[in-house]
Amino acid sequence: MTPAPRRIDVHQHLVPPFYRDALTGAGIAEAGGRALPDWSPEAALELMDLLETDTAILSVSTPGTGFLADPTEAADLARRLNDFSAALAAQHPDRFGWFATLPMPDTETSAKEAERALTGLGADGVTLLANNNGSYLGADGQDSLWRVLDEHGAVVFVHPADLPAPPVDGIPPFAADFLLDTTRAACLLVRNGVPRRHPNIRFVLSHAGGFLPYASHRMAVAIAGSTGRSPLDVLDDFRGFYFDTALSASPAALPTLLAFARPGHVLFGSDWPFAPTAAGQYFANGLDGGVDPATLAAVNRGNAEALFPRLAGAPVVAPTRPIGARVRQSAQRAGARLFFKLVQPGTG
């Protein structure tokens, strides 16, 4: 049996020490209801070897720079994060790429930083939070940013943030609110015609697009009713998004995503380190055992190579860890596969 191609992970985060210090100084100890995780390049590479990942496109998760009230401070932090990410990718060119952090909701400054990151630092795209202090992607006043991103044919990684509303006791934001946040942004982007006016932007929606694939027809009817557009045109715009599999390659969610998304528009994602290693293994196993070999090869690697052409010629990374570490990781993978099978409904 031919082994599946090693993965390209489009949804992996970094937490540089200076960024953690800035969050801690602002009294922020968690994101989305999860404690800020430990992160280092070495730990990231170990996780990537465990999940058989060649390259990860790194991004800064919520809250980005939005916790800073002073726009100048937010812009300075975004520049520092982007300089750090560019240097890290230069040190590990076959292992790490990166999405630039933008100081939203300041769209003018964000447009300038996007220009700098894409043309001067070699960013693979940009990260945009679904909402920034309650202002959602697709709202009025963002055209200057969309124009720059369209001119560069940029990849835009859309990541959820905390909803602009109090959380519900007992429901951590990452479990449900994050999915709604991404869905809201996708719906507003399409409703207000951003993908149609700026067709060169490639949007990647986190976590299989939240609720979008499942509720797409319902939202298309609503948008058609308020705008006079054809529901089929709205659905076509929804299907034009790209989607990652982070925390979403389950027997319930994955078939819906693959049935909805355009061919070539589903990408592998882990969400590490905010999703712990065990969760990354669980959903990677859901992908490995849930699709045919051709689809697996496309999601693992081929679709990302088409979206990021520079990775298509990248050499396959040979394992370099000591034999003991490789044996341990092989045992971890086998144990995770067994656990995944045991906990599926109807298998016990």
* pLDDT of 22 strictly over 80: yes
From the list 116, 26, 32, 29, the residue with the least C-alpha distance to 73 is 26
- Which range is least confidently modeled, 79-83, 119-123, 247-251, 311-315? 311-315
Strands 135-136 and 131-132, bridge-based pairing: antiparallel
Tell me which of 319 and 152 has the higher pLDDT: 152
CB neighbourhood size of 242 (10 A): 23
Cα-Cα-Cα-Cα dihedral sign, residues 120, 125, 126, 127: negative
pLDDT at position 340 over 70:
no
Instruction: Return all residues near 120 (Cβ < 8 A) that are at least 6 apart.
Output: none
Q: Answer whether residue 333 shows pLDDT above 80.
A: no
pLDDT single digits (tens) 130-181: 999 999 999 999 999 999 999 999 999 999 999 999 989 999 999 999 999 9
| pLDDT bucket at 96, cuts 50 / 70 / 90 | very high
**347, pLDDT greater than 50:** no
What is the arithmetic mean of pLDDT over 3-17?
91
pLDDT tops 80 at residue 80: yes
In percent, the amount of the chain with pLDDT more than 90 equals 87
Residue 216: which pLDDT band, with cuts at 50, 70 and 90?
very high
Q: How far is CA 127 from CA 44, 50, 65, 110, 123, in A?
A: 19, 26, 11, 11, 10
Q: How far apart are CA 26 and CA 29, in angstroms?
A: 9
Mean pLDDT of the chain, nearest integer: 92
pLDDT(248) > 90: yes
What is the identity of the amino acid at 118? Answer: L
DSSP 8-state assignment for residue 130: S
Region 216-228: mean pLDDT is 97
Q: Shortest CA distance to 339 belongs to which of 285, 292, 288? A: 285
Q: What is the chain's alpha carbon radius of gyration, rounded to the nearest angstrom?
A: 19
Does pLDDT of 324 surpass 90? no
Strand ranges, E, within the chain: 7-13, 30-31, 34-35, 53-59, 96-101, 125-129, 131-132, 135-136, 155-159, 202-205, 242-244, 266-267
- The model's confidence at residue 313, banded by pLDDT at 50, 70 and 90, is confident
Which pLDDT value is given to residue 274? 97
Residue 300 is encoded by which pair of tokens? 């693992």
* C-alpha pair distances (Å), 88 with each of 82, 85, 92: 10, 5, 6
Q: What is the mean pLDDT of residues 180-185?
A: 98
The pLDDT score that the predictor gives to residue 3 is 62
pLDDT for residue 1? 44
What pLDDT score does 83 carry? 98
Which has the closest alpha carbon to 207: 163, 154, 160? 160
Residue 84 has pLDDT above 60, yes or no: yes
pLDDT digits (tens, 9 = 90+) for 38-58: 999 999 999 999 999 999 999
Q: Hey, what are 216's tokens?
A: 């797409």
pLDDT for res 344:
74
